Amino acid sequence: MPTVQVTDVDLKDGDFLLDVREDDEWQAGHAEGALHIPISDFVARYGELTEAAPQDGRVHVICRSGGRSAQVTMYLAQQGIDAANVDGGMQLWAETGRPVVTDDGRPGFVL
């Protein structure tokens, strides 16, 4: 399964990030600009991803630590989408000093 390091994801450079954590985790804090579709709703909301994701770009999938995002990454690969699991997830995202925000733009935290 394709995997990328947190430090290789550059949202300012146009990389696409899909956060598959649950609502309470997202509300506590997330990467600004990520698309949020909880894994529990993923199949039902799959169309939201296909509408938002770049047609010729990679979908970087993230969760808290990498387990749930790995499942979604495998599913996306089976659908023919170029996807990669973000190794270490939001925990490593925050540990490496990458910004974590709430919906209103305030500093957040990883739940």
Q: Give per-residue burial for 13-44: e unless 16+ CB within 10 Å, then b.
A: eebbbbbbbbeebbeebbbbebbbbbbeebee
Q: What is the pLDDT of residues 27-70, one digit of tens each?
A: 999 999 999 999 999 999 999 999 999 888 899 999 999 999 99
Is the pLDDT confidence value at 14 over 90? no
Model pTM? Answer: 0.96
